[in-house]
């Protein structure tokens, strides 16, 4: 409960909303659906939006609060299901305890591409733990004695959850499809080659695999986002063939350069964000090696189910390679989050199986104390990086009511003939959040202040314009990013600069009207 209270801190502390990137657009989509501007099935992934609207209707909460509660509900689901998944791999009492504490580490959340904020892939990833659990239940507990080909209640539930995963996020549904397809391939090989394995006696996954594949294609093939991603992959491949490839993992390389510029580096961030994950990947690797070496032959069900999950995880690695080599966003880090969901459960089983060996050397009591201390040490190490913070050189993602109210006033009051710029990136996300995504074209608010030009603004506007600055901008650039792009002196200069005038200010948001003479201030000062 104490760990969940840490995850729930934004709600407990009364945050108005959390998430300054994609989350703001998801908030806008919820507004669009509620206002009748968008039909829910027009969205590529309407799952969390439907959930949030349902919560709003039932509780009367605002869309902001409902989306935050949706995030918590999926975390709670994962907390429950990770130990249950591990228990299906190895049905022992110790498994539940070890896996529960391992689940509390929240290793699937890496704050790079998976978040504790409204973010469809992150919620779909945690929801997929239900699909994995039903998959394991269906293999061995589905109506014993009946034909392997007959669809059972667990099989039907797996189909429903698979289709629901498509609606939460198709990319995560694809990961689940890979797992089911890999299981089907293993089952075919086991029966064809007459392997001495429990896999031969498991119920087949053919129906569930086929239905999920059809649902995925039917839903995504008519969506522009699917074809845009596919086109990015094709163009990257053409680049490699023509000798002009994209920069592999370009965004990661750029972030590494930025970290070095502020005195940090990739090794430090890796240690803070991925060290505990690396431990569990190593634990999973030990168990997989034991399976390969037939050290688990006396546990045939554990052996078989670890093979399923391992092949399902390995089956996603080609996508990781494609996303890295093609420099397609940071999608490879999303897949890493899903893989850590599997590694958490399998790694917990490794710990449980290792307890007797360790106890025979140092004693049972010492073993239990050592494992407890290890988990207690890993817990704060992992949770310290669960939310963005200056600890990992990221800003707090709290979106205050004053920010949204301020942007709302700015968008309503400004002269539409003039551009509105913001710090680091254009304010279009806030326009999405306040008015919905259908209100204004996205490119109308995509102008940002170039690096180190906040005190001159010469490259920001061609003539007069508006500049939006929030308290969050100041905190992000000064505290989290160590003045990498914009300094405190530049922010302070705005209120002292002739020709830069406050239009709206509410304590958390300020809208400046920038006169044309302010853009030539340095020239005027030199000549006159």
Give the mean pLDDT of 192-207. Answer: 89
3-state helix vs strand vs coil in the chain, percent to 5: 65, 5, 30
Beta bridge partners of 399: 17
Among residues 31, 34, 30, 62, the alpha carbon closest in space to that of 49 is found at 30
DSSP 465-497: EEEEEEHHHHHIIIIISTTSSS-HHHHHHGGGS
- In this predicted structure, the answer to whether residue 424 has a pLDDT above a threshold of 80 is yes
DSSP 265-276: -HHHHHHHHHHH
Task: pLDDT band for 247, please (50, 70, 90 cuts).
Answer: low
Specify the pLDDT at position 422: 95
Give the mean pLDDT of 366-395. Answer: 93
Contact 406, 506 (CB under 8 A): yes
pTM, full prediction: 0.92
User: What is the β-pairing status of strands 465-470 and 419-423?
Assistant: parallel
Q: What is the mean pLDDT of the chain?
A: 89
User: Hey, what are 1's tokens?
Assistant: 């409960």
CA 427 – CA 445 distance, rounded (Å): 6
How far from 302 is each of 85, 280, 291, 342, CA to CA, in Å?
A: 11, 18, 9, 14
Helices (H) and strands (E) in the chain, counts: 23, 7
Contact 131, 138 (CB under 8 A): no
- In this predicted structure, the answer to whether residue 525 has a pLDDT above a threshold of 50 is no
Contact 47, 120 (CB under 8 A): yes
Residue 459: partners with Cβ closer than 8 Å, 6 or more residues away: 450, 453
Contact 397, 19 (CB under 8 A): yes
Task: pLDDT band for 216, please (50, 70, 90 cuts).
Answer: very high
Domain boundaries, the chain: 2-392, 400-527
CA atoms within 13 A on the CB side of 368: 5
- Between CA 115 and CA 39, with CA 231 as vertex, the angle to 5 degrees is 60
DSSP 205-258: -HHHHHHHHHHHHHHHTT-HHHHHHHHHHHHHHHHHHHT-PPPTTHHHHHHHHH
Q: What is the largest CA-CA distance in the chain?
A: 95
CA 222 – CA 219 distance, rounded (Å): 7
- In this predicted structure, the answer to whether residue 380 has a pLDDT above a threshold of 80 is yes
Residue 438: partners with Cβ closer than 8 Å, 6 or more residues away: 32, 37, 38
**Three-state secondary structure call for residue 353:** helix
- In this predicted structure, the answer to whether residue 487 has a pLDDT above a threshold of 90 is yes
User: Hey, what are 240's tokens?
Assistant: 């490699």
Beta bridge partners of 420: 466
How far from 167 is each of 44, 127, 438, CA to CA, in Å?
A: 7, 11, 21
Beta bridge partners of 17: 399
CA 246 – CA 237 distance, rounded (Å): 9
- In this predicted structure, the answer to whether residue 144 has a pLDDT above a threshold of 70 is no
Give the mean pLDDT of 233-250. Answer: 67
Give the mean pLDDT of 417-425. Answer: 91
Specify the pLDDT at position 153: 85
Task: pLDDT band for 526, please (50, 70, 90 cuts).
Answer: very low
CA 467 – CA 89 distance, rounded (Å): 56
CA 509 – CA 427 distance, rounded (Å): 12
Residue 469: partners with Cβ closer than 8 Å, 6 or more residues away: 422, 423, 491, 494, 509, 510, 511, 512
R_g over Cα of the chain: 26
Specify the pLDDT at position 275: 95
- In this predicted structure, the answer to whether residue 328 has a pLDDT above a threshold of 70 is no
Task: pLDDT band for 244, please (50, 70, 90 cuts).
Answer: low
Specify the pLDDT at position 250: 55
Around Cβ 262, how many Cβ atoms within 10 Å?
Answer: 13
CA 333 – CA 271 distance, rounded (Å): 16
Structure letter (DSSP) for residue 480: I
- Is the pLDDT higher at 248 or at 314? 314
Residue 423: partners with Cβ closer than 8 Å, 6 or more residues away: 448, 449, 454, 468, 469, 470, 473, 477, 486
Give the mean pLDDT of 247-259. Answer: 64
Give the mean pLDDT of 425-443. Answer: 87
476: left (phi over 0), alpha (psi -120 to 50) or beta: alpha
CA 134 – CA 518 distance, rounded (Å): 63
Place of tokens 């995509």: 446
Lowest mean pLDDT among 323-332, 438-447, 509-518: 323-332
CA 186 – CA 182 distance, rounded (Å): 6
Q: Which long-range contacts (CB under 8 A, 24 or more apart) does 83-89 make?
A: 83/348, 84/133, 85/129, 85/132, 85/133, 85/136, 85/345, 86/345, 86/346, 86/348, 86/349, 86/352, 88/133, 88/136, 88/137, 88/305, 89/136, 89/302, 89/305, 89/306, 89/309, 89/345, 89/346, 89/349
């Amino acid at each position: 409960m104490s760990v969940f209270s840490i995850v729930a801190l934004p709600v407990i502390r009364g945050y108005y909303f959390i998430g300054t990137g994609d989350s703001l657009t998801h908030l806008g989509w919820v507004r669009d659906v509620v206002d009748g501007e968008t039909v829910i099935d027009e969205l590529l992934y309407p799952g969390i939006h439907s959930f949030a609207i349902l919560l709003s209707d039932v509780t009367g909460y605002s869309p902001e609060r409902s989306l935050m509660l949706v995030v918590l509900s999926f975390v709670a689901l994962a907390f429950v299901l990770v130990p249950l998944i591990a228990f299906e791999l190895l049905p022992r009492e110790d498994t539940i305890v070890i896996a529960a504490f391992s689940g509390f580490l929240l290793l699937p959340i890496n704050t790079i591409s998976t978040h504790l904020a409204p973010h469809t892939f992150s919620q779909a990833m945690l929801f997929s733990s239900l699909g994995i659990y039903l998959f394991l239940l269906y293999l061995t507990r589905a109506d014993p004695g009946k034909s392997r080909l007959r669809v059972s209640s667990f099989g039907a539930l797996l189909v429903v959850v698979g289709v629901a995963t498509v609606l939460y996020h198709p990319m995560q549904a694809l990961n689940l499809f890979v797992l089911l397809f890999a299981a089907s391939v293993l089952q075919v090989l086991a029966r064809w080659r007459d392997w001495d394995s429990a896999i031969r006696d498991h119920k087949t996954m053919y129906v569930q695999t086929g239905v999920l594949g059809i649902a995925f294609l039917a839903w995504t093939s008519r969506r522009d986002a699917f074809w845009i991603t596919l086109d990015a992959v094709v163009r990257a491949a053409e680049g490699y063939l023509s000798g002009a490839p994209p920069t592999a993992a370009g965004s990661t390389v750029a972030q590494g350069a930025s970290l070095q510029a502020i005195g940090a580096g990739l090794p430090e961030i890796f240690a803070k964000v991925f060290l505990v994950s690396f431990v569990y990947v190593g634990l999973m690797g030990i168990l997989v090696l034991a399976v390969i070496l037939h050290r688990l032959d006396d546990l045939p069900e554990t052996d078989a189910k670890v093979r399923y999950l391992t092949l399902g995880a390995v089956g996603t690695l080609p996508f990781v390679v494609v996303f890295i080599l093609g420099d397609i966003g940071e999608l490879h880090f999303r897949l890493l989050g899903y893989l850590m969901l599997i590694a958490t459960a399998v790694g917990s089983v490794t710990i449980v199986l290792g307890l007797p060996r360790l106890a025979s050397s140092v004693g049972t009591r010492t073993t239990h104390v050592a494992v407890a201390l290890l988990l207690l040490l890993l817990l704060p190490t992992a949770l310290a990086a669960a939310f963005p913070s200056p600890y990992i050189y990221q800003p707090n993602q709290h979106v205050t009511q004053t920010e949204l109210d301020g942007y709302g006033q700015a968008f309503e009051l400004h002269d539409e003939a003039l551009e509105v710029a913001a710090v680091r990136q254009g304010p279009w996300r806030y326009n999405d959040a306040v008015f919905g995504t259908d209100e204004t074209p996205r490119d109308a608010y995509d102008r940002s202040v170039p690096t180190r030009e906040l005190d001159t603004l010469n490259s920001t506007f061609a003539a007069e314009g508006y500049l939006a600055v929030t308290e969050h901008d100041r905190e992000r650039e000064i505290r989290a990013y160590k003045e990498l792009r914009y300094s405190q002196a530049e922010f302070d200069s705005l209120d002292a600069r002739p020709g830069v005038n406050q239009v709206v200010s509410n304590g958390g948001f300020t809208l400046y009207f920038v006169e044309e003479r302010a853009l030539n201030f340095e020239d005027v000062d030199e000549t006159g």
